[in-house]
Chains A and B, each alone.
Chain A
Amino acid sequence: METVINDYVSRELVQDQGLLPLTDDTSLLETGILDSLNLLRLVVFLEERFGIAVGDADLLPDNFASVNAICGYVRAREPGKQEAVRG
């Protein structure tokens, strides 16, 4: 998952090539990689690629602060995990 997300962010969202290669704990906010529209692009990608639904309440900077943070969020939101939590 880390590789998939890192590839997507590096390919589609990073404009300053000087930031590449991107490490999984690089801050996407402090580096300016993640602005408002890029977060929307990322959300659309995550929903399509991992079959999760990102709710309004989940749009917190902490959830998208780095590739590692995104992976942690996605894992917690994966359908199986949601059911497990509910169960």
Chain B
Amino acid sequence: MGDSRAERALRSLEGVGYWAAVAPLLSRLPAAIGYRAACRRGDWLFRRQTAKRAELVRNLTLLGNGLGTGLGTGLGTGLGAAAAQQVARDWFRFASCEVLDVMRLRRGTRPLRRLVEIQGREHLAAALAGGKGAILCGAHFGSYNSSYSLLHASGFPITSIGRWQYKYTVGLSSAERRFWDLVYRRLRRYRQRPNIEPWPGRVEVAALAAAALRANEVVTIAIDAPPLDSDLARAVEVPFLGRRAKLLPGVVTLARLTGAPVLMCFQYRRADYRHQVLEISAPVPMDGDVTTAFGRCAAGVSAAVERAPAHWAYWTSTPDLRTLELRGPDPVPSPAGPSPRADEVMMRHRAADRVPTPG
């Protein structure tokens, strides 16, 4: 299974080595070469990380009925075992490519901006013209953190609601925290305000977001995060990936209290792995009751995942899928083995804004 202590230590070492040395080097090479090498690393992880791959494929197979065409994978309709393997391979490739996205932000945004086409800027500009700010509603999907940095650098004052995982991961040494702090400094540099980081008992989160919106700025929210225990009572059930998921509808309340329009925002990686498209939608109608209005946002996320499943971060986290109520309990112990270590989750910075589950 590859989960011995030595294997885990090796994986951890490889991850740090990739972030600290290999990816910075690759990010200086021509994009075609750098991203191709990142994909090779993704393929290697796909072969080596058998437990994680098994969990990914299992969740894709269980939940993937009706998933769309994927991205350059030629999945066709439905998601059989072979297609799930293909999406899983892309998932590992994307994870490695996203590290390069972050590294390309090291010396300004130009190296990354050349690879990302932004569609729908006019929607965001029009929303801000209303003077009440704008909410970009997205998910832990693709290179979302890098995409927000690009948007900020292109003239939109962006602040994100989200946690930096390294601050909360249990058991990290101070040296490790400093390392990840340095890594994510690249992203933090391109934000209007420090991230608004929710954690249990922190009650000023929504008010801080409202303050940014009142200043006619842009606030980003990922709505697919599994609710914390303390928030479960506020979660609503909405259609999601052909099932019903429990998600927090705070984006709707925030929009209604501030008058800020809500736009959906997703970044898709193209079939060559180095080019991406950042798509910003027109404002989502916020009329109707909270569940109805939020259902439109959730439908936007669901459609993005169905269109390009390999971009979604949560396929490897069965506990999170259970909290979302997308997965029931296993009748037998999962063959996937233990959940990924915190450092592995962190290396997929897609999931960077969740408080780790204790233990």
User: How far is the CB of A49 from the nearest CB of chain B, in Å?
Assistant: 15
Q: Which residue of B lies closest to A56 (CB)?
A: B211
List residues 177-226 of chain B with CB under 8 A from any CB of chain A: 198, 201-211
Q: Which of chain A's residues have a CB closer than 8 A to the CB of B254?
A: 37, 40
Q: Is A7 an interface residue when CB atoms closer than 8 A count as contact?
A: no
Expressed in whole angstroms, the minimum distance between the Cβ of A51 and any Cβ of chain B is 16
Q: Is the CB of A35 within 8 A of B257?
A: no
Q: Which residues from chain A contact B205 at a C-beta distance below 8 Å?
A: 36
In chain B, what residue has the closest Cβ to A53? B214
Closest to A44 in B: B257
Q: Cβ of B257 and Cβ of A56 under 8 Å apart? A: no
User: Which partner residue on chain B sits nearest A38 by CB separation?
Assistant: B203
Q: Which 7 A-B pairs have the closest CB atoms?
A: A59-B204, A40-B206, A36-B205, A36-B206, A39-B203, A40-B207, A37-B253
Residues of A within 8 A of B206 (CB): 36-37, 39-40
A43-B210, A56-B211 in contact; A36/B257 too (CB < 8 A)? no
Q: Are the CB atoms of A36 and B202 closer together than 8 Å?
A: yes
Give bound CA distance, A44 to B255, whole Å.
13
Identify which of B201, B202, B210 contacts A40 (C-beta below 8 A). Answer: B210
Q: Tell yes or no: B28 within 8 A of A by CB.
A: no
Interface contact A59-B208, CB-CB below 8 Å: yes
Taken together as a complex, chains A and B put the C-alpha atoms of A36 and B202 apart, in Å, by 7
Chain A residues with CB under 8 A of B198: 36
Using Cβ atoms and an 8 Å threshold, which residues of chain A touch B210? 40, 43-44
For residue A43, which residues in chain B have a CB less than 8 angstroms away from its CB? 207, 210
- Contact count band on A: 10 to 19
Given contacts A40-B257, A44-B257, A35 and B234 within 8 Å (CB-CB): yes
- Cα A34 to Cα B205 in complex, Å, equals 12
A37: B residues at CB distance < 8 A: 206, 234, 250, 253-254
The docked-state distance in angstroms from the alpha carbon of A54 to that of B202 is 17
**Is A4 engaged at the interface, CB distance under 8 Å to the other chain?**
no
In A16-58, the 8 Å CB interface with B consists of: 29, 34-41, 43-44, 54-56
Task: Tell me which of B203, B207, B211, B233 contacts A29 (CB under 8 A).
Answer: B203
Q: Which residue of B lies closest to A40 (CB)?
A: B206
Instruction: Write 19 A-B pairs (CB below 8 A) sorted by A numbering.
Output: A15-B233, A29-B203, A34-B203, A35-B231, A35-B234, A36-B198, A36-B203, A36-B205, A37-B206, A37-B250, A39-B204, A40-B254, A41-B253, A43-B210, A44-B257, A54-B207, A56-B208, A60-B204, A64-B203
A54 vs B257: C-alpha distance when bound (angstroms): 15
Interface presence of A61 (CB below 8 A): yes
| Chain A residue at minimum C-beta to C-beta distance from B248 | A37
**Min CB distance, A37 to chain B, in Å?**
5
* Cβ-defined contact, B203 with A35, below 8 A: yes
Whether A61 and B203, one on each chain, are in contact in the complex, defined by CB atoms closer than 8 angstroms, is yes
Q: How far is the CB of B214 from chain A (nearest CB, A)?
A: 10
Q: CB-defined interface of B121-135 with A at 8 Å, one 1/0 digit per residue?
A: 000000000000000
